[in-house]
Structure formats: structure tokens, C-alpha cells
Structure 1
């Protein structure tokens, strides 16, 4: 009876949509209304793999992307892939890395460097794996081309620069999304929907519950989730005493920029803070392909006084995360106590308006461009650092329409759904079994700093940097990508999935988003064929298909 009611609800909602929007034939576009079996919101790597899977499963799909460029962080500067254990990366994700491998087998790929000059170093694995015919380290434009090829080869209908109307755009009836509208006036109707954005905007607009910030450890019986003062598991902390005050040692002079005046909370307690964002810059050391670091508008060297004091204290690790990618370029990431992470300046991003998000992104860009100029020019920076920094610059042949600057900010964490099931550190660390696996993760529980604060002894410190390694790869449950049935019955959320903060620190890797995007699409097709809610998909049948598609589900 329930399956019949679900099918009737979908059919009646779509029929109503045809009348309201002027449809005369199913699947035909009239005016500003568009229809497909599955509507995917987002332009991330997970969105593209989901779309490919829908098409290969014989259904119609439309990708509605707020982004102009496809691939999210995979094509936005994160070329030094966070693989973890690469043996658990299967399906379309592995196909992506195989296509990258094929690209770098051609002579044309090596413009600024000979292939035999490239060091072939990856994260715990060779960059180029000849045995598996995969390549895990790559330039941004190469990744973007692979995603664009996926779209072209599968004739995927794609609308770019289309932004969900988050206030009034979701049409929902009896727990079922009928359609959503974008700010341009377009309406997209479907039987199933997939939110593959980093922010979870469709999920939130569909009134699905979610969480922002760090849960207290007691919520899910965890150890590494909440506030973590004096816990240092990477090198991103102040190893020597540094004064936080404008006049060193004088609290009355006020705090330097970016340092929180709040007293640190108790270890293990929850808060609304999220780990820091940054841009993963693609830098070049080739003189003919380098854009020197320019002084940005509004540049103020006083904003980087804290870094000057770090150098004064003897810090020497400036270039430790200039990870080599092909053609004399880097994927440059945050490293050390004061670096590209704009700590504490993103708390309002997940729920912020589009306008406010643009401001936050611009603030991050200004901070980071100012940092690079400071490192290249300011006399408070050691001379050897300045000299080496001036060998680097933005890569001229990357992000050409944006002056060499990445088009995607690294949204490490935003909203996280509270779904049918919740992945916690207990599942990722192997303390609890996972039922109904649809993919695997293996990377460390990796959270960047969430705040700069003043310790009781009057010195500055970072807080929130965690790096706990699972003993072995772990499974990710189907229940973590679907909402509770009472909230929505035809939505999948493979990126802002249901997870605690610290478990998300491992799951949030780009290969995993591709894996979960594909699995979500497979389940969406099954739900359409059976005319059932996503919560009622037969896992046995889903598992069978996922294995046919070469997904890795469990050890």
C-alpha cells in the first residue's frame, strides 16, 4: 500500500507540474521548465559521477550546477589526492584516476617538464601507478577536462551558473520533492534528487535536519569530536611561546588579528565552530608560466604580524606542503601555525546567504593573496624564505579565466545531514560494524584548526587540528546518505552526508565523494524502477549492482 501511495504522489505531483508550467508531453521542455528522472544539484566531482551513473543505468538526468567549472576541489587545486588506501577506491572514481593516467602517458601532457624529471611522489603511493594504470597526482585543468569528457561522452544535460532559490524554491508534497526553482526562474522536476554540493543547500531547503559545528563527545560516545585544546596531531600549532598581543606581553594593547578573545571551552564539549577553509593554490616555478605574487587591494602587513613572530621564534617549515604535481607545479596547502588556512573566519558560511558567502570567499582570497605577497616581500620574513618564495607564482595556464586563482574555495566542512544512520568515529575506527555498505573510506580523521585562542599562560595557540589514522579501511553505510523518511523520501545527500564532525574529517575526501555520488545514483535508479522511497531500497539488489560496477564495499 505504501509503495502505491508513493508512486501516486510522485505521479500526481508531476502531473500538477505539467499543468502549472505548460507541459504538454512528458520530457518535453516548454519555457523555463525542465524534467528528468534524476535531478542533481551541484557541480562537484560527486555530482559528475552521479550523473554518469544515472545515464549508464538508462535513465535521464539533469545536472543543475551553481558553478561554471565542473569537478569542485578535484579540479580546483586539490591535485595531490588524499587517497588513503587506494585499493578501496573503485567504480567511476577509479575510472577518473585511470583517465588522468592516460593523459600523462602522452608527450603533449608534459609542457613545462619532461616526464622523467617528475618525482612521482604521492600520498603514501606513487603518483603514477603503472600496474593499476592510475594516476593520483595531477594539474587542475587535467581534472576538469576529464569531468567535461564524462559529460560530453554521456550526453549529460547540464545547466551552469544556476543557483537554487533557497527561500521559496523547493516544491515538496507529502515528504516528496516535486521540483525546485533557481534564481534565474528555471524549474527542474524529477522523480529523484541528489544534493551533491559542498554546502547542502538543497537538503536544507527541503527541510531535512542537519548539524553545523562540532558535537560534544558524549553525543555519539566519541573521543576526538569536540573541542580539543592542547591536542597536536599535525604540525599546525605554535611549538614555541608566541605573544598574541599587539605589544608583545601586554594584554592591554589588544589582540593581534584573527585571535579569538573568547575563553577556550572544555575538552570534549561541542560548539558551533568549523574547521578552517583555504584555497588550494596551484603554483608554478617555470619562469614562462609564473604570475608573480602581486600586492592585493587593501593589503596591510600588520595582518601578518603573528607570522612574523612565528619566524622570529625559529620556525622553518614554510615549504613543507608545496607538494609536487606535474609540470613544475604544486598543490600548495596549509602548513604550520599560521598559514593559508583562514582560521575562525568561516563560522557563518554554511547557513549564510549567497551574498554573505561571496563576501567570505573574497575575504579568504584577500587574506591568502596578502599572505603570499607578505612572504615574498616583507623584511620580517627570513631572507632565504623570500628568495625561494619569489621562485614561485600562480600558474599562468591554470584557472585562466580567474587570473590563475582557483575558482573553488576549499569547503572542508559545512552542513552535515542528520539522516537515517550517522557515521561516527566508532565506525571509522572499527569500533562498531557498518551495515549496508555502499563505499569505503580510509583516510585519517583529518580536521584542521577551528580557532586561535589565548592560553591561560598568556601565549597564543591553535585548536582543532586532529589526525587520527584508522587501523584499516572502513565501510560507509547507505543510511548515511539518505534522510529520515518523515523528512524526505526522494533525496540523496552523498557529500553533506550524515556524519559526526570528526568522522566527516575522514569521509570528506574527493575520491569518496565520487564513490558515494555513484552509489547514490545507483540507488536512485532502483527507487524509480520500484516506485519506492529511498529508505526502502532493497540493499541486497543495490549491493549486487554496486559490485557489478566495481565499487569496493568492505574488506
Structure 2
């Protein structure tokens, strides 16, 4: 009996030793072969760590190598360090000494692979966690990762560099999916809000069409009562695919009809095409030119279909990926082939096709769905809207963000009283370049001691509208790669490293922590005397586009709006205010002069003597560089007056920004 027991124990010990031998041991394991993950692995390996990068498919680079070729970068000046180095390397491949922020997937992936090889980091492909149970914890630390292919990885430090945040979630780190309420962090843009959208009353025919579409495509519409303005929910902004197209003969694959194709699904698109008399492909999607005669296309968004993705199972995500692909393929096929689409538009769309030399192992289709927003960690510091304006400086800064706060539509809802409501976009949010704190990339110490999160970072939905850009994720990756080396060297939790040491190292590596701000770009109301009403406080009627280009200055707060002139008024900004005292006030308007502006922009001023019409030549710079006087008028205290900037007229673009009232 003793011999049998001893023999069994010996076999168990052998099995344990064999299992131990199979575990791949590293200083740092990066889960997610995204651009952020590559930067984290590259930076850590250059600091001397033994690094493994686990990518969930057969490619590295994430969305940067999956169609997002027109880089959403914000201000060039905020991009430095290894991130800038990457874009410079890409530029050299195109024969330029300047960084390239317009790039093709092929060249982007080649560049990432070269950097990985140079650093000595190892890449493991098709390396996906065992669903839900693949993260093994020991106390408040991640001990190892179990993969579906049977591989096991252990490390001293881990990085979640995925768009979904699976490692973080399965390590039991708290997180959120969706939108916070306005009350949660006191963010002006938080929660549900129409923000320029108007409910559409559906007639019986349109309602019937929608119901028929929903039977076949259940994620296209939500049938429910809408939640109140400012309330939160668990819904994410719309996803899409960023396709790499070309019009180059010999390198294009024609748009094909998906097996699920139903032209009824695109009836609202057809109505828009016919109503607006659209005859060019670039009016039904956004086309960004790329090198090598290719394009990146955007804004084929599918509202509602993304909501279950972040917390969804692998099977659910596969379904949502295919659902988006079918929609997008059908959209392109419809525009290029449906007989009800104007012939000129069909012919223009037929000039394009999928680039034959891109995504060659995936039928020329991007590997990744553009997951604009997944889970978001509730970490050591939650970034919020105010961090991109009045609270932009951080003691533990590790990099910068500078893109405007951008959320695409979140949902299309059909209400019980038959209104179609689209909402979720953030069409106006004041912002300026801001610092990203180290604490937003770490969990609370009581939740996990050896994890960094670079994409599903600790942030609210509102600020994530700016943070969710590839250069920011790469900057975060660079920072945590260097931080991981300090963590390993000093054998401390990630929350306990010497941040000053980290910052010193990052500065040596040319990471950017601050940029000088042009005072004429970020103008605040308190800079001037008088009462100021900005355009975001006005009621918008008709079609206006936001202008936030930092070269188009000056403007009040975060931007201004433009509308094309029309012989009859089709767009207007309505301002309403009450003056503090009875008397005469000089009224001014702020606008950015340009040769494409209206020579006679019509502004109607409600005054004590009735409406006064004033015309402004917006091709000429305002008298003092900021404000153009509209005249002196009388107003009474306590009376509410209305003012209108109209697009009625001919010849150019009308700019709507702030109005100012100065008592004489």
C-alpha cells in the first residue's frame, strides 16, 4: 500500500513539474496586440524586460493596421516619444522626413513588426484567453493567464491593451459599460441628450417598414420609451468598419452582395439620397485619401448594434462582428447597384472597391470591428469631462490628449407614440490639450496590484470621446511599458512606483507633457467685458457643421459653426438673453474671416425698437480681430430679446459664434 501511495505521489509531482515546465514565464505579459500593446511591449523590452505580446488574431497593430488609416490625432504637438517615432518611421517608408498620419494597413503593420523585432519582445498569435476563467489570481495579483490553445503565461506585471478589456474584467477589476448620468461626475455633456437631434414622427408606412426591418435585423432599432435627459445607461456609441478602398484598376475588388442583403434596410438612406440630390460617393460616407491610391472610409455607423459587445461572450461578439459586416457590405452594394439610386451616384460608387492587396488573408476585409468604446475601468483616478478643460494639469502626467470630445450616435429608438429618436452624439464640447494622469492607467491597489490598462482606461464616457484615439493609446502604452520596468526592478505594486522617476525617463524619451496654448485659440468669456452668449447656448435650426480647427481662430470656447447660404432661410442660430440694465448697448458678433465666407451674412437683432437687420461681410476680419460691431441699440432690463444669425443669402458660408453686449 505504501508503495502505491508513494507511486501516486511521485506521479502527481511529475505532473506538477511538467505543468510548471509548460508555463511561459516573463517579466511582462501584454494581452492585446493593438498599437497600444505593441508600444507597451516595445518600451518595456527596450528597458530590459523579458516581454510577451499576446495578440488575439494573426496580426499586430489593432485598428491602426485594420483600416483606421486617417489617424485621429488632435494636435501634432502633443504626440511625442515612441509614438512619434512610429509615425516618423511610417513617413520614411513613404519617402518623407515628416511623420505620416495618413497610412495604409500594410505599411503600418510592417512598421510595428520591425519595432517589435528591434526591441526583442516576443509575439504570440491566436492567443486568446479562456473565456471568463482564463485569468488566475493569487491574492490581489494576477498570477497567470490560461489561453484557449493550452498555453499558460505567467509574469510579474500584466497589461490589458485590448479594446474590450477582458483581462481587466476577468481579473475582477471594477469597470463600467455605457454612459454615466450627468449627476455622477457633474459633466455637462453626460447622459442621454438629444443635442441637436429632433424626434421624427413616423407615418404608418415608415413605421411598418421599420417593423419589417427589425424582424429580419433585430439590432437595427430599439422599441422602447426613452430614458430622461441626462440619465445614464449601459449603451455604447455606434461601431463601424474602417474599410480600405481604392479606385485603382487592377487592385480593387468590387462590392459584393451579402447573403442577408435586403434593400429595405437602406430605405432611409435612399430617402436622404433623393432628398439631398446626392450624386457622389463621398456624400454617403466620409472618404479620407491614403497613400498608394487608397482611401479610408468612415461614418457607415450602425446604431444600437454595439450595446452587447463589451460584456458579450466570444460567440456574441462574433455575431455582432458579422452583423456589422453584413450591414456594411449591403450598404456599399446598395449604393453601387440599387436601381432606385441615381445613376450618377451608382457610377461614382462603382469606381471604388476593396483594396486587393490589403487584408489578403481575410477576403480584403478589416480584421477588427471599430470598437469605439468597450469597458472602462474604475481605477485609481477616473478622468472626466472637466479634465479636458479647467482641470487639464496633473502632477502624475505621463502624456497628453488633444482630440475633441467625440461620441457618435448611441441609439435609434422607436417610442410607444411612434416617434423615431436618434441621440448620443456630442456635437459641442469645449476642450483643450490636457494631461493624462498615470493613475488613470492603474486599478485601485485594493483591486489589483500588477495590472495596467491602456485602452479601457479609467475614464467617463464623455472624456473617453477624446481619449479613444490610437495615438493616445500608443502614448499610454509607451508610458506603462517604462513603468512596468520600474515595477519589476523595485518589486512594488504598480500603484507604488516612483512617478517622478517614470516622468524623468519618459522626458528623456521625448514624451510630451505640455504644449503652449495660443491664447487666441482658447478664448474664455471672462477675457472680455459685457454679456456674452455663445453659439452652444443658442438654438440651432437646420444644417450646421462644427468648426474646431485650431488654425481657424479666434473663436469663443471650443469652436464655432458654419452653414451654407441659401436664397431662402434653411438654417439659423437663435440666441435669447435678458440684459442686466435698461439702456443702450453696443452689440458685437465674433466670427473667423475667410475668403469662402458670406459677404452679406444676415443677422436679425431683437431690440426695444423692434427687429433690426444687419449684414456683415465675413470675408473681412473683425475690426479688433475678435468682434465686429453690429451697432448700438436700446434694451430694457427684464425683457427677453431674441437674435438670429441666418443663412439666408447667396455667396458663401455664414459663421455663427458668440454675440456680445456692452453697455454704453
Distance change in 2, residues 1:142/1:268 (3 Å) = same
CA distance in 2, matches of 1:434, 1:394: 44
The answer for the alignment partner of 1:378 in structure 2 is 338
**8 Å contact 2:209–2:264 — kept in the other structure?**
no
Show the counterpart of 1:314.
276
2:10 match: none
| Matching residue of 2:258 | 296
1:244·1:306 contact (CA, 8 Å) conserved in 2? no
* Deviation, structure 1 residue 460: 3.2
The answer for the alignment partner of 1:490 in structure 2 is: 450
Per the alignment, residue 348 of structure 1 pairs with 308
How far residue 472 of structure 1 moved from its aligned partner, in angstroms, is 2.5
Bigger relative contact order, structure 1 or 2 (CA pairs below 8 A, ≥6 apart): 1
CA distance in 2, matches of 1:61, 1:393: 39
1:71 paired with 2:61, answer yes
Residue 261 (str. 1) matches residue 223 (str. 2): yes
Q: Does 1:276 align with 2:266?
A: no
Deviation of 1:554 (Å): 2.5
Question: How far apart are the structure 2 equivalents of 1:149 and 1:218?
Answer: 47
Between stretches 373-382 and 208-217, larger displacement belongs to 373-382
Q: CA deviation at 1:429?
A: 2.4
| The one of 153, 157, 168 aligned to 1:203 | 168
Q: Separation in 1 of the partners of 2:502 and 2:210? A: 62
The Cα shift of 1:253 comes to 8.2
CA contact (8 A) 1:245 1:253 kept: no
Moved more, 460-469 or 341-350: 460-469
Distance (whole Å) between structure 2 residues aligned to residue 139 and residue 170 of structure 1: 35
Task: Please tell me whether the aligned partners of residues 223 and 416 of structure 2 are also in contact (alpha carbons under 8 angstroms).
Answer: no
Q: 1:88 maps to what in 2?
A: 78
On the 8 A contact 1:244/1:259 being kept in 2, the answer is no
Where 1:462 maps in the other structure, the secondary structure is strand
1:180 paired with 2:145, answer yes
Following TM superposition, by how much is the alpha carbon of 1:303 offset from its aligned partner in structure 2, in angstroms?
A: 1.3
Following the alignment from structure 1 to structure 2, what is the Cα–Cα distance between the partners of residues 552 and 469?
Answer: 24
Paired residue secondary structure (1:191): strand
Question: 1:120-519 residue pairs with structure 2 within 5 A?
Answer: 130=97, 133-229=98-194, 231-232=195-196, 244=202, 247-248=205-206, 254=211, 256-257=213-214, 258-314=220-276, 316=278, 318-320=281-283, 321-334=286-299, 340-431=300-391, 433-454=393-414, 460-468=420-428, 470-519=430-479
User: 2 CA distance for matches of 1:228 and 1:255?
Assistant: 28
CA contact (8 A) 1:489 1:535 kept: yes
**Residues in 2 aligned to 1:170 and 1:298: alpha-carbon distance in whole angstroms:** 37
Cα contact 2:131–2:314 (8 A) shared by 1: no
- d(CA) in 1 for partners of 2:493 and 2:166? 21
Q: 1:78 to 1:172 in 2, by over 3 A?
A: same
Greater Cα radius of gyration, structure 1 or 2: 2
1:40 partner SS: strand
Following superposition, the deviation at residue 308 of structure 1 comes to: 1.6
Aligned to 1:487, the other structure's residue is in SS state coil
- Per-residue CA deviation, residues 123-179 of structure 1 (Å, 9 max, x unaligned), is xxxxx7x5xx21110111110111111122223211100111132222211201111
| Cα distance in 1, alignment partners of residues 210 and 263 from structure 2 | 18
In structure 2, how many angstroms separate the alpha carbons of the residues matched to 1:544 and 1:266?
A: 47
Equivalent runs, 1:514-533 vs 2, <5 Å:
514-533=474-493
Q: Which moved further from structure 2: 422-431 or 192-201?
A: 422-431
Select between 310-319 and 34-43 the one with higher mean Cα deviation.
Answer: 310-319
Q: Secondary structure at the match of 2:244?
A: strand
Distance 1:315 1:515 in 2: 43
Greater mean deviation of Cα atoms: 202-211 or 266-275:
266-275
Alpha carbons of structure 1 residues 470 and 90: separation in structure 2 relative to 1, 3 Å: farther
1:429-456 deviation per Cα after TM superposition (whole angstroms, max 9, x unaligned): 2346433111100001011111113479
| TM-aligned CA deviation for residue 23 of structure 1 | 7.5
Give the match's secondary structure for 1:453.
Answer: strand
User: How far did 1:314 drift?
Assistant: 2.0
Once residues 407 and 159 of structure 2 are traced to their aligned partners in structure 1, the CA distance between those partners, rounded to angstroms, is 26
Alpha-carbon distance between aligned partners in 2 of 1:522 and 1:546, rounded to the nearest angstrom: 8
Residue 346 of structure 1 contacts residue 360 of structure 1 at CA under 8 Å; is this kept in 2? yes
Within the candidate set 479, 494, 500, 1:540 is matched to: 500
SS in 2 for 1:434: coil
Q: Unmatched 5+ residue regions in structure 2?
A: 1-12, 215-219, 516-664
Q: Give the SS at the match of 1:37.
A: strand
Q: Is the 8 A contact 2:404 2:431 kept in 1?
A: no
Once residues 422 and 209 of structure 1 are traced to their aligned partners in structure 2, the CA distance between those partners, rounded to angstroms, is 12
- Compute the TM-score of the two structures, normalised by the length of structure 1: 0.85
Give the deviation of 1:383 after TM superposition. Answer: 2.1
* Shift of residue 313, structure 1, vs aligned partner: 2.7
Spell out, residue by residue over 1:340-393, the C-alpha distance to the aligned partner (whole angstroms, 9 max, x if none).
111101111111111111111011111100111001111232222111000011
Equivalent in 26, 37, 46 of residue 47 of structure 1: 37
Name the CA distance, whole Å, in 2 between partners of 1:171 and 1:458.
49
Give the alignment's Cα RMSD to 1 decimal: 2.2
- Tell me, in whole angstroms, the C-alpha distance in 2 between the residues paired with 1:383 and 1:260: 33
Partner of 1:118: none
- CA distance in structure 2 between the aligned counterparts of 1:430 and 1:243, rounded to whole angstroms: 40
CA distance in structure 2 between the aligned counterparts of 1:401 and 1:246, rounded to whole angstroms: 46
Higher strand share: 2
Name the CA shift for 1:399/1:253 in 2 (closer, same or farther; >3 Å). Answer: closer
- Give TM-score scaled by structure 2 length: 0.71
Residue 18 of structure 1: CA displacement? 12
Closer/same/farther in 2, CA of residues 309 and 364 from structure 1, 3 Å limit? same
Moved more, 373-382 or 496-505: 373-382
Query: C-alpha distance in 2, partners of 1:103/1:470?
Result: 37
Listed one character per residue, the Cα deviations across residues 483-506 of structure 1 (whole Å, up to 9, x for unaligned) are 011110000001100000011110
CA shift, 1:312, in A, is: 3.2
CA gap of 1:529–1:268, structure 2 versus 1, over 3 A, is same
